[in-house]
Amino acid sequence: ASQHRLWPEIENVVKSQVNMAKMGIGECGAGWQLFAEDGEMKMYRREEEVDGMVCDPLKAVHVVKGISGHEVCHYFFNPQYRYDWESTLEHMTVLETISEDTLVFLQTHKRIWPASQREGLFWSHIRKLPNEKDRDGPDIWTVVNNSTEYSEHPANNGKCVRIFLTVCLLCQTTVDPPKDGTTLTRDNLSCKITYCSVVNPGGWAPASVLRAVYKREYPKFLKRFTAYVKNQTKNKPIMF
Ligand SMILES: CCCc1ccc(-c2ccc(S(=O)(=O)CCO)cc2)cc1[C@H]1C[C@H]1c1ccccn1
């Protein structure tokens, strides 16, 4: 995989996205507004437009008990689970398996009236990172998705408008060992999830419509996905 044409880009984008995701909302620059809150989940966005198109960066922070960062990234990365949790997905194919930790996806999302239907073509990379704060603590896990070009699938040659996205899911596991030295259970586990995304809708759509879609869809998406991981792992051994 390290000699693949995309490898230099993957290395650069993963490093920069992980550094951004690690920064607290206060360090990420000004202008972040909290737009959704549900228990431990907080969602922030910044209003940004590129050529008159809404490209609001989004940063969500969520703490979920009973699952590990590896499990969250495993179910987010692997294509075989995606239809179970991604409710806006209409079709998904893996265009290329670059390596076992790097895939290229082509996926179409259900049309959201009045915007036209969207599709995304992106590489997706899963990686374990050393826990710098605590050497013998659990590793950090991340999945980065980043749009890329494919000559066999030119943008906007069909009915769908091609979106351009960069997404980073960063997961930090916390283990709170049982006092009485008994075996670790999922009750001693929690995961801090940081989800960052910048999506360029690729073609014009009314700002009010896009912002309403994101305001509705992102909280639903993160809640549905984390509930799915809890349900899938509850009776399985912990994957660290
Ligand atoms: C006009 C643009 C609409 C639009 C742009 C972008 C996305 C989108 C693509 C990918 C990812 S992901 O995190 O990489 C998981 C893999 O699918 C999340 C969101 C979805 C929509 C549509 C379907 C709406 C939506 C928005 C936000 C979250 C979920 N769904």
Q: Which residues line ligand 1 (CB under 6 A)?
A: 86, 88, 107, 109, 112, 115, 118, 120, 145, 163, 165, 167, 197, 199, 201, 205, 210, 213-214, 217-218, 221
- Mean pLDDT for the chain overall: 95
State the closest ligand 1 atom to the C-alpha of 195, by its place in the atom list counted from 1. 13
Residue 34: pLDDT band (50, 70, 90) is very high
pLDDT, mean of residues 153-176: 95
pLDDT of residue 29: 86
Find the helix or strand (DSSP H, E) in which 115 lies. Answer: none
193 against 203, higher pLDDT: 193
Rounded Cα–Cα distance for residues 217 and 119 (Å): 16
**Confidence at residue 1, expressed as pLDDT on a 0 to 100 scale:** 61
- 19: CA distance to ligand 1 center in Å? 22
In order, the DSSP letters of 13-69 are: HHHHHHHHHHS-TTTT-S--EEEEEETTEEEEE---EETTEE---EEEEEEEET--H
Instruction: Say which amino acid occupies 15.
Output: K
Lowest mean pLDDT among 1-10, 11-20, 75-84: 1-10
42 with 35: CB under 8 angstroms? no
Residue 70 has pLDDT above 90, yes or no: yes
Q: Are 165 and 143 in contact (CB under 8 A)?
A: no
Distance CA 39, CA 37 (A): 7
Residue 131 has pLDDT above 80, yes or no: yes
- The residue among 201, 170, 140 whose CA lies nearest residue 17 is 170
- The fraction of the chain above a pLDDT of 70, given in percent, is 100
- What was the pLDDT predicted at 122? 98
Q: Distance between CA 202 and CA 194 in Å, rounded?
A: 25
Task: Measure the CA–CA gap between 172 and 142, rounded to whole angstroms.
Answer: 9
CA of 177 to the centre of ligand 1 (A): 37
Q: pLDDT value at position 90?
A: 97
**Nearest ligand 1 atom, CA 124:** 14
